[in-house]
Amino acid sequence: MVDLPKKKAGIVACSGEEIPEGTVSRMAALKVLHELRRGDTVTICLPLFLAGGEGDRAFASVNPTITIDGCSRRCAAIGTEKYSARPAVSVVVTDLMESEQLPRPLGRRRLDAAGERVANKVAQVVAELVDEVLGRPAPKESVRPADDHEHEAIVGSCSCGSGIPVLRLTLDGEEYELIAVPAIFDQLAAAGRVADRSVMAELMEQVKIYNSLTVGIEAGLSERLLDEFRLHLERRGKR
Amino acid sequence: MIDFLTVTVDKFTFRVATDRLYSPEGVWAKSEDDRRVRLGLSDFVQQLNGDVAFAEVRPIGTEISDGGEFAVIETIKANVELPSPVSGVVAEANPVLADRPETVNLDPYGEGWLAVLGKAILDRHSLLTPEAYLQVIKGRAESEVGKK
Amino acid sequence: MSGEERKVIVMPCSGIGKSYGAISREAAYEVVDELRPNTTRLVALSLLVLGDEERRAAVSRDPVIAIDGCPKLCAATMAEKSGAGRITRVSVLDVQKRHRELKPQGIAQLNEDGLRMARILAAEVAGIVDQEELKTRKGGDR
């Protein structure tokens, strides 16, 4: 039986010091982490992440992350994808301000009333997104979905709300949600398995424990899972 | 080269060096020649308590009883009085602690050692093996990390 | 901000997990907005690390003061890796060691001790800025 840890969402804020919206991103993240979804979220410190923080990167590679960026430069989203995995959702404060018609905040050191209002709204949206990535309803339209390429696999959480990690992918035009695959990848990696054909039988055997597979897809799926395992190992970067 | 056992909770990985023994409070003890025992903090305890701003060991020559305080560390979160897992006499205090107490955080099993007790009596039956200490921190890690 | 304008760059780590990270940020604002507004500029670490050309050019040309909240030294490390030529490393923890009486708390909102520590740190950074300005006037960075 795969030993699966409780799923949490990593929150990555840009904290950009140069503009008020960067401070908004920071305050919103802290509100989610310490008040709204304490126990369901984990702080990802962006400077540490960018500088090579192994724990933060490892967490972000197998757990869903929500990035909160002050502006369209999207440093948190880009950094998260570059050094671990694409975030489950990317929130951009300026986008949300526009869609919700919120006033522009002033003051990057101390948020003014408008800034507080925007931060509270961002926090509320992110808190709901935390519920979604851990329980898997559809993402909000007011935020930019991180996945623009439907053919790419997504690591997320089971829609049953258990928090069990899943891998979602499209194969031959059909969408699949495969339970426990990220955790299986982790265990194979920890056991020293490499992403070549020698691991395929073991990988499929584990996957079939948790997933009922349609007759006829195994051959294609096994090739695809081998590719995904290879990507998984690359993301882990052989730390 | 030190080997480690590890446990990971969220983004935190806690390492337990396999070449020494541990008190339940997370002080490690490593025997050296001539009845000397080197003491330090486990990775779990240093991560839990945060960056060490001050670390003070009792003066050289102080007699320390088993369970008696041999050092105090001060972090942004707490002042932690450390009970010695062995009895003995303070023979050395790590000189780097005065200027670079953060060494305790950066290298808790190596350069960040705290003290050496001489004339030390190490009761192996009262201390935890690395495997047993790993089980102790496994149980505590989830609840402690949740408070961070 | 003009790409040609030469100022001392202040770059806090702004670590979000600890009070010291908040202090690094607060101190940076104190320097740039209050103490030395004409001779300093803030640079966001993440923009620099992710390759913003103007900021990379600036750090390679102008002196950088990297303010770090913990021993991991993310700001100083990433400034160096991003091509900064002249870096002064400042640690919040060093201020704590000199001011044991201060017990900073809070991240979103620093307590009074945290704000005080930030002001002390900012004053020290302002002094470093002045030294860098002096070097520049003497032509020491050419």
Is there a contact between B13 and A39 if contact means CB atoms under 8 Å apart?
no
| Confidence band, pLDDT 50/70/90 cuts, at residue A136 | low
Q: Using a CB-CB distance cutoff of 8 angstroms, which residues of chain B are in contact with residue C103? A: 76
Between CA A179 and CA A206 the distance in angstroms is 10
Residue A231 has what pLDDT? 84
Q: Confidence class of residue A157 from pLDDT cuts 50, 70 and 90?
A: low
Which one of C12, C29, C47 has the shortest CB-CB distance to A75?
Answer: C47
Q: What's the pLDDT score for residue C30? A: 98
Q: What are phi and psi of A96, to 5 degrees?
A: -70, -40
Q: Quick one: pLDDT at residue A164? A: 57
Cα within 13 Å of Cα(A61), Cβ side:
24
Determine, for residues A59 and B11 on separate chains, whether the beta-carbon distance falls below 8 Å: yes
CB of C74 within 8 Å of a chain A CB? The answer is yes
Q: What are phi and psi of A149, to 5 degrees?
A: -125, 105
CA angle at residue B135 from A179 to A232, to 5 degrees?
A: 30
Nearest residue to A81 (alpha-carbon basis) of A46, A117, A110: A46
- Closest alpha carbon within chain C to B52: C93
Residue with structure tokens 């093996």? B129
Contact A69, A92 (CB under 8 A): yes
Average of per-residue pLDDT across B127-133: 96
Output the CA–CA distances (angstroms, integers) from residue A124 to A14, A29, A120, B98, C82, in the order listed: 17, 10, 6, 46, 35
Cβ distance of A42 and B13 shorter than 8 Å: no
Q: Which residue has the higher pLDDT, B20 or A154?
A: B20
Is the CB of residue C25 less than 8 Å away from at least one CB of chain A?
yes
Q: How distant, in Å, are the alpha carbons of A25, A143, B84, B141, C6 from that of B147?
A: 22, 30, 27, 10, 44
User: How do beta strands B79-83 and B69-75 pair?
Assistant: antiparallel
Residue A147 has pLDDT above 50, yes or no: no
pLDDT, tens only, A29-81: 999 999 999 989 999 999 999 999 999 999 999 899 999 999 999 999 999 99
pLDDT at A224 over 90: no
Closest residue, chain A, to C81 (C-alpha)? A51
Query: Distances from the Cα of A132 to the Cαs of A140, A156, B10, in angstroms?
Result: 9, 10, 19
- For B13-25, b/e burial (b = at least 16 CB within 10 A) is bbbbbeebbbbeb
Q: What is the pLDDT of residues C13-54, one digit of tens each?
A: 999 999 999 999 999 999 999 999 999 999 999 999 999 999
Provide mean pLDDT across the span A114-118. Answer: 96
- Nearest Cα residue in chain B from C99: B53
The ipTM of this complex is 0.93
- The separation between the first and the last C-alpha atoms of chain C, rounded to the nearest angstrom, is 22
Q: Which chains touch C (3 or more CB pairs under 8 A)?
A: A, B
Compute the average pLDDT of residues B126-133: 95
Of all residues in chain B, the one with the smallest CA distance to A6 is B10
